[in-house]
Structure 1
Amino acid sequence: MTSLRYCLLAAVLIVCSSASNILMVLPLGSASHKNIFTPIAQKMGEKGHDVTIVSMHSSSSSGSTALAYKDIVAKTAWQKVQSATGEFNVFNMLRESKDVNSEVMKKVIKNLPVYCDAFLRDPAVESVWSENPDLVMLPAFMNECGLAFVHKFQVPFVYVTTSGLTPWTADIMGNPEHPAFVPNQYLSYTDEMTLWQRVVNSVVRVASPFARRHFVLNRLEGVVQKFLEDDNVSLEQIERNASIVLVNSHHSLGFPRPLTPNVIEVGGMHCHPANGLKYIDSELDTFLNEAGDENALLFSLGSHIKSSQMPEDVLAMFVNVFNRLPYDIVWKWEGSRPANLSTNVLTRSWVPQQEVLAHPSVGGFFTHGGLLSLQETAYHGVPIVALPLMSDQHLNAKQAEVLGMAKTLNLKSLT
């Protein structure tokens, strides 16, 4: 009898301690988008699961914490993406009165098949095809190329939105989305819209899933079919089997909206306490320590937009203003230091943003309004001056302004 009990206990322990193989696939997207996946991968890895992230950007360990997951980087594919796309200069687009979102989308959509094929055939990704994952996780927009892995392995998968809940993802999950009070992420409306704004919002809400099907899914489907040598692959059918959607939003930072149980908000999970700025950048730490409490500002336009692309007159305007401010400023700036910039400004091509925001000397954040940046700012309790330029930044800035977290500026009206 005792032996039987031990056998049963051993069987239970084996079941309870079994680990899963998790595959996270990011065929496209900026380095910041990967930041949504890395906290999940790290925690799963620390819990004993075997986690692999495949993307075009490498991860960096946080402080003394080693990566608890396998990080595979498709470097060859990233080079092809850069070659095919070229550089985006948002400032020039705005100066020429172009719609930045439309211009960026046109270029990205045009090259989507190139991006997808390069990623699927990247030498670093070859080893992944021989794995046997129990679950696949991938971003829900412009990364549908990753559905090839779902079809290949025939396992459950989870969509993760790098922005808020998109209309097509809501449709996939059967989540209601009323256009009368749920603004589209590419429109700078609030939940209290005028009649005309509701009309525009409704049209965009209805049209966007069809546009995505035509310009994204249909263009990627042929690439995936050719790679898998299976003409019956349907990306639209595959994604309908998504188990759940993890949404990079939080109800405290957005407008009210209904969510079904299979749509789970996880916004802000990448936020963390400071890991010791002096160990990451001692010069930057000293600069902020000497500034005094809440007497320093951080200026960053994110990972997509480069401050160094500013036209000369716009750059001169910022330099002039920063030189006159009675604050010390940390400026995320790529390239050589701008001429005539005062000593109260410290430039860095890369900034450990959360460590800087957590510093007691930092009393404000001049930001482009990226969703991750707003979440980090709320987490660390720093007020915002937002300069939205593209994508969902206008909606993010509007939400922050309504909540009393931010003041929003327009680049065209700055002098």
Structure 2
Amino acid sequence: MKLITLFVVVAALTGNVAGVLPPAERSYKILMLLPVSAKSHWNMFMAIAEVLADRGHKIVMITNHPKVSTHPNIHEIHHELRHMKLPDMFNKGKEMSGGLSAFRDFLPAMFRDLYKLPSVKHLYEKRKEFDLIIVNHMFNEFHRVPCCPQIMYPFVHELPFITIATIAMDHRQSAVLGNVLNPSYAPNSLVGYRCPLSLWQRVKNTVIHSWLPFYWRKWAIVPLLQKEISAQFPDLPPLMDIERNQSLTLMNSHFSITTPVPLLPSQVEVGAIHCRPAKPLPQVL
């Protein structure tokens, strides 16, 4: 069932480009989790949700954005929590940590409040009714640091799930999947170097490549979240164990415009798949 569901999702997305995909054989229930997302990341998720909904699949989304879709097959749940406030995020970005301290402050608090919401609690109890769960892997386009999808991992335990990396390749996530990229030629998204890298760029890239996962996963962020999640879900396995069970990652990148890197079959580049023909301007501006 897991493989069939994943095939349906990928086929639906590629079919939007090719336009030659036959009708879906059945309707699947798909849950999209993006409780902390910048507007640009939400745009990509909504484009994918609409393609799947057009093919008859039932989509439920947990977002931090007000409801806008009028599609009958898309149900949006706006949690209305205000932990991630854009002015605060910009101010945090001026700190020496580059904004990482903001996540340490608000993510644990958001997790505590999120699972207290009646709509989220109800959806969590019904999570096994979904055929597939899609999780937002990243957000915060201001500094291009990894999001913490771990706050939604209680939903995906023992269920098929995929992630969408909206800002392309994340070295940390790639390593979790088993594809460790070489920092001598694969620039980290924080630095944005162009190949070939100079000696100094390789040194800096290697330091960031090693420091960021340690800071995020071992020191500052994930341990705090693990403590909060274990308090509410004592029977849940460690978050890092759940993370390794993701079946597929869709990356908003393409080798023609980014650095070509080796990929696993479970890492699929879908850069610009959310782009659609421009709508005509209104006659009265």
TM over 0.5: yes
Structure 2: which 5+ residue stretches go unaligned?
1-23, 138-146
Deviation at 1:68, TM superposition (A): 3.3
Please name the residue that 2:171 is paired with.
167
CA change 1:89–1:177 in 2 (3 A) is closer
RMSD: 2.3
Which of 148, 155, 159 is 1:142 aligned to? 148
Which residue is 1:55 aligned to? 63
Given that 2:53 and 2:71 are in contact with CA atoms closer than 8 Å, whether structure 1 keeps it comes out as no
Matched, 1:126 2:121: yes
Q: Does 2:93 align with 1:87?
A: no
Query: What fraction of aligned residue pairs are identical, expressed as a percent?
Result: 28
Note if 1:30 corresponds to 2:38.
Answer: yes
Indicate if the aligned counterparts of 2:250 and 2:267 stay in contact, CA closer than 8 A.
Answer: yes
CA distance in 1, matches of 2:272, 2:72: 20
Tell me, yes or no, if the aligned pair for 1:173 and 1:244 is still in contact at 8 Å.
Answer: no
| DSSP 3-state at the match of 1:36 | helix
Distance in 2, matches of 1:224 and 1:119, equals 11
Whether the aligned pair in 2 keeps the contact of 1:162 and 1:247 (CA below 8 Å) is: yes
Question: What letter corresponds to residue 125 of structure 2 in structure 1?
Answer: S
Work out the CA distance in 1 between the residues paired with 2:177 and 2:123.
28
SS in 1 for 2:152: helix
Q: TM-score, normalised by structure 2?
A: 0.80
Is 1:184–1:205's contact at 8 Å kept on the other side of the alignment? yes
CA distance in 1, matches of 2:228, 2:104: 14
Q: Could you say what secondary structure the match of 1:177 adopts?
A: coil
| Alpha-carbon distance, 1:169 to partner | 0.8
In structure 2, what is the equivalent of residue 314 of structure 1? none
- Answering whether residue 51 of structure 2 is matched by residue 43 of structure 1, we say yes
Q: Deviations over 1:277-335 (max 9, x none)?
A: 217xx31xxxxxxxxxxxxxxxxxxxxxxxxxxxxxxxxxxxxxxxxxxxxxxxxxxxx
The answer for the alignment partner of 1:378 in structure 2 is none
Contact persistence 2:92–2:102 (CA under 8 A): no
State the partner residue of 1:216.
221
Q: How has the CA–CA distance of structure 1 residues 67 and 18 changed in structure 2, closer, same or farther, with 3 Å as cutoff?
A: closer
Equivalent residue letter for 1:69:
I
- Counterpart mapping for 1:300-319 below 5 A: none
* Residue number in structure 2 paired with 1:248: 252
Alpha carbons of structure 1 residues 245 and 74: separation in structure 2 relative to 1, 3 Å: same
Q: Which structure: larger Rg?
A: 1
Name 1:265's counterpart in structure 2.
269
- Distance in 2 separating the partners of 1:74 and 1:139: 15
Q: Which amino acid aligns with 1:192?
A: P
Separation in 1 of the partners of 2:275 and 2:82? 30
1:16-415 → structure 2 map (5 Å cutoff)? 17-61=25-69, 66=71, 68-75=73-80, 78-82=81-85, 87-89=88-90, 93=94, 98-99=95-96, 102-131=97-126, 132-140=129-137, 141-151=147-157, 154-214=158-218, 215-230=220-235, 232-278=236-282, 282-283=284-285
After TM superposition, the score normalised by the length of structure 1 is 0.56
Query: 1:194–1:86: structure 2 CA closer, same or farther, 3 Å change rule?
Result: closer
Give, in whole Å, the separation in 2 of the partners of 1:206 and 1:133.
Answer: 36
Find the aligned partners of 2:49 and 2:185 in 1 and give their Cα distance. 35
